[in-house]
Structures are given as structure tokens and as C-alpha cells.
Structure 1
Amino acid sequence: MTQDDAPQQAKTAELYRMATAEHVCPFGLKSKDLLEREGFEVNDHLLETRDQTDAFKQEHQVDTTPQAFIDGKRIGGYEELREHLGLKVAEKDEVSYKPIIAIFSTAFLMALAVAWVALDTLWSIRTLEWFVAIAMCLLGLQKLKDLESFSTMFLNYDLLAQQQVRYGYVYPFAETFAGILMLAGALIWLAAPLALFIGTVGAVSVFKAVYIDKRELKCACAGGDSNVPLGFVSLTENLIMILMGLWMPIRMYLL
């Protein structure tokens, strides 16, 4: 048997993680899963009491668990393990478009589902209308889950909110309400001007902050806890609301 034919020695790792009756450490489970997916045979050491956990921390002079060891070397917790294995580790406050991608993807699929049920087809003008309406509702919901955080981030760039602070609290309700009315095709005389107004103010505010003042800010569009950068996507969101505010009355008139 040649050296190439010899079986490769299995990779092994030692993992120490908290798993008491009251608490199973989620990062310990993530570390175990990550090691196994990377081909490691894991010697899983459970710290089943607080005393065991404290004794382990003291012995290895660490502040947290889980702790992974590979080839006798302590790697660290879940994020250190990801970094050691060459995987991406999200930095604190790292900007990302993932929330917006998730919201618009879900809204589009929901619009297709509604169109299939209501119209027995996937594609029509109504599908696009429902897509925008559902997206407005989902974006509004993200803002409503923490009004204080949203309004604080919103004040960084919205021109009307900087003059009338209470507008930052009203905006999520207005966006959600307009989306619901457009989804139902009801009270368009109210929904369309509402969408047109908040979309226009938002577009002007974003354009000034990003393209005139050249400021690097986070967008409050996905809620006050998001790390979505303020820019083209934020501007597009507002322009779409403007288009819906103009289109819906025209469509109602044509019909």
C-alpha cells in the first residue's frame, strides 16, 4: 500500500461547552456543528454545572465558554473558531444589505402567492402592485418593532423629522397603513397621497444626505437596529413609493 493509499488520520477537536439543566449554550452547539461540518471528530465535553464551568474558566484563564482546542492549541469561542477555519466573521456594526434583500425577496414571493390565488396567474400588473404594498408593510413592521430606535436613526437624515420630531414616530404607521390600503385596493384617495408624501420627503432627504452632503449613514428603512447603509437602495425605496402614489389613482381612473 502506497503512502497515498494510506487512510488519512481523522481530524479531532476538543470542545468544552456549557450544558446545564437550566441552560444549553447556543454558541456551544454552533461550535460543535461547525467542527463536524468541517470534518472534525469532536470530543464533546459538557460542563453540566456552574461549578464545573467556573473551574474550567479558572483553569484555562478564559472568561467565556465554549472553548475549542485543535491539535492541543486553544482556539477560543465560536467566532474565533470561524476565523481559525478561514470563515467570515462579521465585524461589529458591519454594514449589510441582507435585511433589505430578505424583506424584498419575501415581499416578491408573497405577491406571487397572492396573484396565484387571486388571479390564477403569477404575473400581472397587480403582482407588481402587491409586491410594493407588501414590501411597504414589511418595512413598516420592521420600524414599528422599536419606534424609539427607528426615530433616533431617522433623525440623522430625514429633513422633516429634523423639523418635526414627532414625524419620526408617525412615519412607520403611515407607511404600513398606506401599504395595507394599497394591498386591499381600498381608499386609494387616502393611500396614494400618503405614499406620495412620505416617498417624496424621504427621497429628497436621502438624496441630500448621500449625494449632496456626502454623509456616510445607516438607513433606518429596515428598523433602528439595522446596519443597512444609506444610499441607492434607500433612495430607490422612496422612489418606488412615489411611483405607487402616482400610479394607483391613475389605475383606478382607467378602470
Structure 2
Amino acid sequence: MPKDTTPKTATLYRMVMTDHMCPYGLKSKDLLERQGYQVDDRHLTSREDVDAFKAEHEVKTTPQTFIGEERVGGFDDLSAYLGKAVQAKDATTYKPVIALFSVAALMAFVVTWLTLGTMFTGRTVEWFISISMVLLGLQKLQDVERFATMFLNYDLLAQRWVRYGYVYPFVETGAGLLMMAGVLTWLSAPAALFVASIGAVSVFKAVYIDKRDLKCACVGGDSKVPLGFVSLTENLMMVGMAIWMLSKL
């Protein structure tokens, strides 16, 4: 039986204005082309064009993709139609912490190579943990207000002293920087040990004793990372690093 060589075609309506180009329209076009479709790319170049299109097709948003006579819908609808998974906005994910710890590990290897001329020593582990602390602190510092609010859900000290949630990101970042440099250990190690110990106890109580289903504020106030093993590991890493640094004094 001869193979069907009829080209796949789709019609895409998307906003392309002087002051705004819809990113989801571009993503829809790219997705269609990667799936082998020839795209009839139709631009809506004014607000009047957009309003008229929405009224004609009884839709609330653009872009809109048509395949044959069928209106598929917006980018998420198109992704589902083509069998591409779309992560729900509120779905939990470990991607942020995986990316952060992966970058921290690579940075630790680079610093080791530049300073010691080798790829791995015991100092590499110290740099990995301290760099992780700085990167985690940076995530929180992007929006301290949202972090502090989310932190209140489970941190035992923050629930007793609300301002602690605003202090924590600065302590974590500052301690990480000092540990990276290997200076003022008498200050950085006790500070890290204090916040990490409270954090570990708080996470353990919330997750393993109270059995609460919460999001972790570890990578910022808009985190979709579930509170649990990763959060506990973060705090235990800081505890271990602090004890190790104190033992070297």
C-alpha cells in the first residue's frame, strides 16, 4: 500500500502587533513545524482584528490553531492534540532543585579545577554545599515577602517569630558566601547550624509526623517543589557542613 505523502497542514491565527507579539503563538507555530505541519500563519495585527476573530469563532483567547476543519484551540490544547504532555500549573515538580543542585555541583568542580588544578577533593564537597546554599538563598531573595509567607506554613520558629522568615534568606546566603571563602567560620558555621537545625526539625514534623501535604519554600515563594525528602536533605546538608567547618577551627 503506497505511503500517504499528502502534506500535513494547519492554520494558525496569532497576535503580531507593533507593541506585542504573542509568545504562545510563536510556540504553537514552532510545535506544528516540528511535527511536520505546513503552517498557514495568519497574523492578527490590531486589537480590532483580535476582537473580530474572537467574536467570529466564539473564543476568548488567541492563538487558535485549526487542522482541517477542526478548531484545535490554544497552545495547551494543541500540545494535548499532538500528544505532548503539558504540566499543570499547580503540579508538583522537582525540576527546580535538580537544576539548582546540578549547577552547584558543576560550579564546585570548576572552582576546584581553577584553584587546585584537579577535579575533585574534599574541598569540592565543601564548595558544592556552600554554593548550593548561596543559590538557594538567591531564589528566596528574589521575593522575600512570598518566601516568608510560604515559610510560615511549616517552619516552627517563623510561626513564633514572623520576622524570622524575612531574616532566613540573608542568613543562608551570607553563611554560604563565607563558607565558600573559608573566612569568619566562627560566624558562618553557627549561623548555618542554627537555621538548618530548626529547618530540619520543622520539615520532619510537618511531613513525617503531621503528614501535611505542603509545597517547600526552599527555592522561593512560588515553588511547586513538594515539602519532604529534598527539603530535609537541604537542611541536613547545611547541618553537616556547619559541624564540619566548626571541627576545623
Distance of 1:106 and 1:173 partners within structure 2: 21
The two structures have a TM-score, normalised by structure 2, of 0.98
1:102-139 deviation per Cα after TM superposition (whole angstroms, max 9, x unaligned): 11111111111111111111101111111111110010
Q: Which residue among 147, 150, 153 is the counterpart of 1:153?
A: 150
1:63-83 deviation per Cα after TM superposition (whole angstroms, max 9, x unaligned): 111000112100100011111
Q: The residue matched to 2:242 in structure 1 has which SS?
A: helix
Structure 1 spans left out of the alignment, 5+ residues? none
1:37 aligns with 2:34: yes
* Percentage of matched positions with identical amino acids: 62
The equivalent of 2:183 in structure 1 is: 186
Alignment of 1:47-196 (within 5 A): 47-196=44-193
1:243 aligns with 2:234: no
Alignment of 1:1-40 (within 5 A): 3-4=1-2, 6=3, 8-40=5-37
The equivalent of 1:230 in structure 2 is: 227
Q: The residue matched to 1:15 in structure 2 has which SS?
A: strand
Q: Which runs of 4+ in 1 moved over 6 A?
A: none
What's the offset of the Cα at 1:223?
0.3
The equivalent of 2:194 in structure 1 is: 197
1:42-95 deviation per Cα after TM superposition (whole angstroms, max 9, x unaligned): 110011111111111111011111000112100100011111111111113111
Distance of 1:18 and 1:231 partners within structure 2: 42
Amino acid at match of 2:107: M
Q: The residue matched to 1:114 in structure 2 has which SS?
A: helix
Amino acid at match of 1:211: Y
Structure 2 spans left out of the alignment, 5+ residues? none
Q: The residue matched to 2:72 in structure 1 has which SS?
A: strand
What's the offset of the Cα at 1:7?
5.1
Distance of 1:226 and 1:210 partners within structure 2: 17
What's the offset of the Cα at 1:249?
2.1
Distance of 1:164 and 1:89 partners within structure 2: 40
Distance of 1:153 and 1:180 partners within structure 2: 24
1:213 aligns with 2:225: no
1:198-238 deviation per Cα after TM superposition (whole angstroms, max 9, x unaligned): 11000000000000000000000000001100000000000
Distance of 1:190 and 1:20 partners within structure 2: 55
Tell me the matched-pair count: 249
Distance of 1:80 and 1:51 partners within structure 2: 25
What's the offset of the Cα at 1:191?
0.6
The two structures have a TM-score, normalised by structure 1, of 0.96
Amino acid at match of 2:31: L
Amino acid at match of 1:58: A
